[in-house]
Every structure is written in C-alpha cells, then in structure tokens.
Amino acid sequence: MKTVSSLLDAHWYERYKRISRLNIRSSIYDVTDRCNLRCKGCFFFSSGEHERAAEEKDIDKWHAFVEKEMDRGVNLAILIGGEPTLCMDRIEAFYKHLPTFCATNGLIKVDRDRFPDMMVGLSLWGDAEDETTLRGQDTFKVTSANYEGDPHAYYLYTITPKQLGKTEKIIQKIENVGLKVHMQLLSNDEDVNGFSWQEDELVAIREEMDGMLDAYPGTVISSKYYHQVITTGEMLGRRFGWNECPSVTISRDNRDPQPKRLTNFIRWASDLKTVHRCCTSETRDCSTCKDGAAHMSWVMVNKRAHIKTAKDLQNWTEVYEMFAKLYQFIPW
C-alpha cells in the first residue's frame, strides 16, 4: 500500500502534515440580493438568483442562523452576494463567530477597526478596458486605494480570453500596491461576445498563468496543478462536471454514485431558508464551468486519488496550501 511518507521526502512530508488535519468545512452565503455594480457575466444576476429569495432583514435572525451553522460543523463562512459590504451588520454576524471570507468588488471599504483580520477577496476582471466593458467602470482605481498594503486582502483576478498576453501588467500593478492575487477564469454566463474560452486560448492562458507564478511567486497565490486542472477541466484522467463537482449543496445532491464532495456543504440564499444548487449558477453548464473554488475543492476532496506518485501528492499538497492561504488557515 502506498503511504504518504513512502512517497514524500522530509520537506514535502512536513508541508503535507501542516495541512492534512485542517479539516476545513465551508459553506457559502448570499448576504444580500443587491449589488452596487451590474457586471456582464455575473452569474448571480444573469441566472436570476437575486430574485429567488427575499432578504432576511432581522439581524437577530442572522446571528441565530450563524450559530446553527456552527452547530452543523461549518468552520469557514464564505460570503458572497450580491455585494456583501452593502450589509456590514450581516457580515459582522458571521465574523463574530466564525472564520469569515468576504468576496467583494471592493468599492466600499471594509472598516478594519470593525473587521481587523477578516480576509477580503477583491474581484477584478482585467485591465481598465475590460473592466469598463464588463463592469461599467475600472474598479481597480478605487479598490487599490481602499486596500493598498492590507495583509488580509487579495485580488481575485478573473481572467477573460481578452486578457491573453496582458496578465503581467495586471499582476505588476497589484504587486505595486502591496497585495496578493489569485487567478481564476471567467465562465461567461451571459455569452458576452468574445469572452468565451476557446481550446487554444485555454492552452495559452495556462502557460501564461504558469509564467506569472514563476515570475511573481511572492504576489501570485496559485499552483501549476490548479492551472492545469482549471484550464483542461481534467484531473487524473477524470473530467470535471456534474458527476464530479464537490461543491453541490448537500440537500440538492441526488447523485448516484456519490462523488467525493465537500462535507455538509450548502450555499444559502439571503432569506436564510432557500438553498442554491451549488456554489455558482444553476443555469451554468457544469461541463464548461470554470469556477476556481469548485476546481480547487475537486482536487482537495480527492486526496487519496493523489496518493499514487510523489508528483501527484505534491500537486495535491500545493493546491491545498493555496486554498488554506486564501482562506487564512495558514499564513501567506
């Protein structure tokens, strides 16, 4: 039988042991149905999820809900929306009780006196031209001013096909404001012309992402295996899709056979009652989904499948480390 220590040398074994018992149990929460931007390609609005549930407005109910989530074993709250920072009191309901990550467009600054160490993920969809095309404005000017040098914030850089050959400029300007960056790929849920990935573009962007990781290792939080998995949609000869996705809400998961999945994962709507099918839009074709967190989690939940060769297990360890850094379970 292959064991971990039979595959890894002392350096890698220590890295593996640092993350092997973290036992992260995340769920995702729509904090609000509203946003102060309307980005073309945003799955939340394009799929009508903002109309699925009426927001719970009683803050006491949010606090009670978070306590129930803790009883369910959740130890990482991932807040999305809508734009969570429109409802700081709801963010606080999570932050007071749980390790909390807040995905935001960054236009409203999180008050660091109120949320001193909450990890903030700042969405960025490319250079000024793409940002203006897709989001109506270049958010970087505002967000970089709001968060310059913040050790608990990083950019979630959603790369579009239009960004081929341009990623270095983006990485450099993020480095220049003293922030980290994690790269993911646009899924183009609204079929915006020219923003859907072609096979040759995916090959090219993988190479470019690898190059950015090599050139900016202190700024880019990523791994080459993650780049491989997200651009090819394949892992260990298996293809990503509905039958493999780990980020399906547990009560909506009727798959048989049951794949490896996130334990007790739920994506909650903002009424605190309704659940969504998965971490992204129900209208999205799973076979072409490029959701970064879902692909990361896909690797992470399939640990034993990676205990075959030293390289496989090193790849798994790097992806897990990446996730643990992005959600503050281990330091940068």
Partner 1 sequence: MTTDASQTITRIAEIIINELKLEDVTPESFEPDLDLVDEVGIDSMDLATIALVLRDEYGIRIDEDDYPKLTTVRIIAEYIDTKLAEKE
Q: Which residues of this chain interact with partner 1, rule CB under 8 A?
A: 1-5, 16-17, 20-21, 23, 73, 260-261, 263, 301, 303-304, 306-307
Min. distance of Cβ 279 from partner 1 in angstroms? 17
Is the bond into 82 cis (omega within 30 degrees of 0)? yes
Neighbours of 213 (CB within 10 A): 19
Neighbours of 137 (CB within 10 A): 13
Given the complex with partner 1, which of 197 and 265 has the nearer CB atom?
265
Give the C-alpha separation, 295 to 273, whole Å.
26
Min. distance of Cβ 251 from partner 1 in angstroms? 16
Min. distance of Cβ 7 from partner 1 in angstroms? 10
298 by Cβ neighbours in 10 Å (0-12 / 13-18 / 19+) ranks as buried
Given the complex with partner 1, which of 16 and 240 has the nearer CB atom?
16
Min. distance of Cβ 280 from partner 1 in angstroms? 22
Min. distance of Cβ 306 from partner 1 in angstroms? 8
Phi/psi of residue 79, each to 5°? -95, 125
Given the complex with partner 1, which of 34 and 68 has the nearer CB atom?
68
Min. distance of Cβ 262 from partner 1 in angstroms? 9
The DSSP H or E segment spanning 155 is: strand 153-159
Given the complex with partner 1, which of 17 and 114 has the nearer CB atom?
17
Asked if 120 contacts 152 with a C-beta cutoff of 8 angstroms, the reply is: yes
Rounded to an integer, what is the distance from CA 279 to the centroid of its chain? 9
Given the complex with partner 1, which of 47 and 317 has the nearer CB atom?
317
Give the C-alpha separation, 310 to 292, whole Å.
24
Sign for the CA dihedral angle at 111, 113, 114, 116 comes to positive
Given the complex with partner 1, which of 108 and 305 has the nearer CB atom?
305
